[in-house]
Structure 1
Amino acid sequence: MRFTLSSTALSCKLFALAKVISNKNSLPILADFMFRTEGNTLFITASDSENSMTTTIELSDSDVDDSFAIENHSLLEAVKSFPEQPLTFEADKNDKIVKIIYQNGQFSLPIESADVYPVAAKIADIAVSIQLSSALLSENISRCLCATAQDELRPVMNGVFFDITPEYLTIVSTDGHKLVRNRIYDIKNDVAASLILAKKPATILKNMLAKDDTLVTITFDNRNAEVTFGDTRLLCRLIDGRYPNYNSVIPQNNQNVLHVDRETLLGALKRVLPFASDSSNLVRFRIDGHVLQLDAEDFDFSKTATERLACEYNGAPMSIGFKGNAFIEILNSYDCQEVDIQLADPSRAGIVVPSQQNDNQDVLMLLMPMLLNE
């Protein structure tokens, strides 16, 4: 078989697909890309047995519909340095070699039969489908990934939970200490349904989705989900299990509200955090009137830091401790100018929300406090 395509298009697609391939594969052929031609379209697939991604490239010419598999590292190294030019693939399945011809030379690589490449699972006929913009999905997944767990005993908490109802779509993640909940009111479904997307496909989507209004379609049954965007399709196995009742842990009566500039607080936390204990990362928030004081200390190495910043606060004076690096992750996940920190008392979870929510959205992040030694 013989076909010609753009070197830049091929390189771009291969590096995106390579994120699916695992370093430790259950089958040797899963270290390969699978190439399949159909008319003047090339379909390229990468898989790790649980996740499979397929994308397409338009061909300049193609002589026959056929397929083969080729090892990913060798091909990636070969094509990554090419300037834009046509590449011609000539595959000889009898000799199990593909010759790749470019403007000033050629090289050859071994190939394998695509017949033994695993076939991706199919979505059941009875499935739920939702659509949302690429930018919206990317933003929500990015925000949730910082709160996913690494818990072997509770694998459901290692993923991102999508909960769709007749009222709204909720995208949630929690590791037991942090919780992120995103409600999107203009995406809903007549029948309630849910899925738990594993961290790997969620990370792939975060890195690949464009920050624009391109529509992304998510179709899922009780075992698998298919995410389609542009000319790419990601098929992934879902995490099986019942997600915790996340609404039950969100306080409903945190009456003390701290209003502060997000960038100012973020900068102050980054400056004091290096002085906190490496084991706890504890930063003390002392709030009194219009002043927020951040304190960090590591008595083992005689390190302390204090910084004060202006704020608006409507409650009684309070001291509450938070894990500094977790708070930084929360603030980095927002792009708003100001945030509200809703508090009840030093022993109860704090809620961080943007001072002004985006249209048709309700986003909050919860962080459990740390014990203070007064």
Structure 2
Amino acid sequence: MKFSINRDEIYNALQKVVNVIPQRSTFMMTQNVLLFTEDNLLKIVGTDLEITLLSWASASITEEGAVAIPGRLIHDIIRELPNSELQFEVDEQFRMKVTSDFGRYKISGVNPVEFPQRPDLGENLKQVALENSIFKKLIENSMFACSTDELRAALTGVYFDITTGKVEAIATDSHRLAKMSYTDESLPEIEISAIIPVRSLNFVVRNLDVEGSSTIYFGNKHALFEMPDAQIFARLIEESFVDYERVIPQETPYEMLVDTDTFYASVKRVSLFSNPLTSQVILHIFPQYIELHAEDIDYGGEAQERISCEFNGDDFLIAFNSRYLQDILRHISTPKLQLRFVRPDYAVLANPVDMPEGEDQLMLLMPVRLNTE
């Protein structure tokens, strides 16, 4: 195997792949990355057996071949080199020699056949293409609500429910729920239901370009995200998602309209004085304003603020975990926010006001028991 490549080109490709490499693993081969040449490209693969990332860069290929080498080592070597043309050569014992303007560096590799194979998606693939901006909104506005409880595996990922003309991304940890939807009549006539782990989606968001589009292929056990300069294979969570629609209130007699940024800033300030164990912040809602209150009895801290709102009730008292409430508010992108209530011990719905055409967002937050003692 012999090729030459620009330092920045190979470094950019390695940067995408190296983060997939696990910090610790009982399967040492996953500490390596696979380098191989194909179609005048140098292709690089990294995997932790749950996520497999393939990236590539243009190279001048003198001799085709493949090798598996320590991923972080080759990444760190390339990182420290200035931009110039680099020469790579691999011998029959899979020893790699890197030559730069400054010197030579040798790395011991292993037979590439020992490297894990890329996932086989199987036959009868289903696919959907989305603009990167839409795709990013779907992921970011849902995955924050995923659970971290590995015993509830179905809740540790985002549930994608795709039907003709519509894509929905839903996540919940049982305390909160986030649902982001995108409607477009030009989307293909397909039906897909799949749960994608949140860690895989983090890699997807990290590698999405600001502009352009990407395609998702759904197989039996894996999903493939295809981008202009990378492919990400993600193992699907093979469990049934919860019946989330059951917890969404169908009728909400009380509604509040408030400025998103003002409300978010006030919650952040007041919550600094909440009890660290409960993070409770109390909202006392009146027709034209909200009083926000938090108190830490143990240390004597207390805060209270008043901000304007529009409310169709007379007097409503409810409490939330301030961390969860801030998560909800942080993912509202419109100037105005609507909160809908049933009663103080029932799920609250939050949604942006005046979203772009084709987009819809709904979030649910469970209140906490009022502790006013």
Query: After superposition, where does 1:212-223 map in structure 2 within 5 Å?
Result: 212=211, 214-223=212-221
* Correspondence 1:157 to 2:155: yes
Distance 1:116 1:197 in 2: 27
Equivalent-residue separation in structure 2 for 1:211 and 1:259 (angstroms): 32
Q: 1:124 aligns with which of 95, 110, 122?
A: 122
The question of whether the paired residues in 2 share the 8 Å contact of 1:87 and 1:101 is answered with yes
Q: Which secondary structure state, in structure 2, belongs to the residue aligned with residue 276 of structure 1?
A: coil
Q: CA deviation at 1:128?
A: 1.3
2:364 aligned to 363, 366, 372, which one? 366
Structure 1 residue runs of 5 or longer lacking an equivalent are: none
SS in 2 for 1:63: strand
What code does the residue aligned with 1:371 have? R
Q: Determine the C-alpha separation between the residues in 2 that align with 1:26 and 1:219.
A: 30
Please give the secondary structure, in 2, of the residue aligned with 1:272: helix
Which residue matches 1:64? 63
Give the structure 1 partner of residue 331 of structure 2. 333
CA distance in 1, matches of 2:189, 2:234: 24
Question: 1:275 is matched with which residue: 262, 273, 283?
Answer: 273
SS of the aligned residue for 1:24 comes to coil
CA deviation after TM superposition for structure 1 residue 26, in Å: 3.7
Q: Give the AA of the match of 2:20.
A: V
Q: Map Cα deviations across residues 35-60 of structure 1 (whole Å, 9 max, x no partner).
A: 0012421111001112211111101x
Moved more, 81-90 or 303-312: 81-90
Which residue is 1:349 aligned to?
A: 347
Q: Deviations over 1:157-207 (max 9, x none)?
A: 110100112352111000001100111111655342211001211111121
Q: Report the counterpart of residue 196 of structure 2 in structure 1.
A: 197
In structure 2, the residue matched to 1:206 is: 205
In structure 2, distance between residues paired with 1:93 and 1:78: 22
Please say if residues 39 and 64 of structure 1, whose CA atoms lie closer than 8 Å, have aligned partners that are also in contact: no
Separation of aligned partners in 1, 2:103 and 2:336: 57
Structure 1 residue 27 and structure 2 residue 23: aligned? no
What is the rounded CA distance, in whole Å, between the counterparts of 2:58 and 2:191 in structure 1?
39
Q: Counterpart of 2:73?
A: 74
Tell me, in whole angstroms, the C-alpha distance in 2 between the residues paired with 1:152 and 1:201: 15
Whether contact under 8 Å (1:156, 1:239) holds in the other structure is yes
The CA deviation at 1:24 is: 2.2
Question: Aligned to 2:80, what secondary structure does the other structure show?
Answer: coil
Q: Give 1:12 shift.
A: 1.7
Whether contact under 8 Å (2:274, 2:295) holds in the other structure is yes
Amino acid aligned to 1:45: V
Alignment of 1:1-374 (within 5 A): 1-59=1-59, 61-94=60-93, 96-186=94-184, 188-212=187-211, 214-374=212-372
CA distance in 1, matches of 2:80, 2:357: 44
Kept after mapping to 1: 8 A contact 2:168/2:179? yes
- What is the deviation of 1:222? 2.8
Indicate if the aligned counterparts of 2:334 and 2:352 stay in contact, CA closer than 8 A: yes
Output the CA distance in 2 between the equivalents of 1:202 and 1:140: 10
Q: Distance in 2 between matches of 1:233 and 1:284?
A: 46
Greater alpha carbon shift after TM alignment, 19-28 vs 320-329? 19-28
Fraction of identical pairs, as percent? 25
Q: Distance in 1 between matches of 2:121 and 2:72?
A: 30
Q: What one-letter code is carried by the residue in structure 2 that aligns with 1:220?
A: F
Cα 1:162–1:351 change in 2 (3 A) is same
Mapped contact 2:141–2:179 kept (Cα < 8 A) = no
The one-character-per-residue Cα deviations of 1:278-302 (angstroms, maximum 9, x if unpaired) are 1111100111121111100110111
Q: For 2:244 and 2:165, how far apart are their aligned partners in 1? A: 17
Asked if the contact 1:98–1:109 (Cα under 8 Å) also holds between the matched residues in 2, the reply is yes
Question: Which runs of no fewer than 5 residues in structure 2 stay unpaired?
Answer: none
8 Å Cα contact 1:195-1:222 kept in structure 2: no
| CA distance in structure 2 between the partners assigned to 1:349 and 1:46 by the alignment | 42
Please list the CA deviations of residues 62-119 of structure 1 after superposition, one character each: whole Å capped at 9, or x if unmatched: 112100011012112111133321111111232x321111122222211111111111
User: Structure 2 length normalisation: TM-score?
Assistant: 0.96
8 A contact 1:93–1:113 mirrored in 2: no
Rounded to whole Å, the distance in 1 between the matches of 2:207 and 2:165 is 29
SS, match of residue 298 in structure 2: helix
Contact 1:138–1:211, Cα closer than 8 Å, also in 2: no
How many angstroms apart in 2 are the aligned matches of 1:336 and 1:9? Answer: 39
SS of the aligned residue for 1:300 comes to coil
For residue 350 of structure 2, give the secondary structure of its aligned residue in structure 1. strand
Alpha-carbon deviation of 1:151? Answer: 2.2
Alpha-carbon contact 2:96-2:107 (below 8 Å) kept: yes
Q: For residues 26 and 237 of structure 1, what CA distance do their matches in structure 2 show? A: 19
Contact 2:166 2:182 in 1 (8 A): yes
How many equivalent residue pairs? Answer: 371
Task: Provide the rounded CA distance (Å) in 1 between the counterparts of 2:230 and 2:165.
Answer: 30
Q: Which residue identity is paired with 1:34? A: L
- Whole-Å separation in 1 of the counterparts to 2:328 and 2:209: 22
What code does the residue aligned with 1:252 have? Q
Contact 1:263 1:337 in 2 (8 A): yes
* RMSD of aligned alpha carbons: 1.4
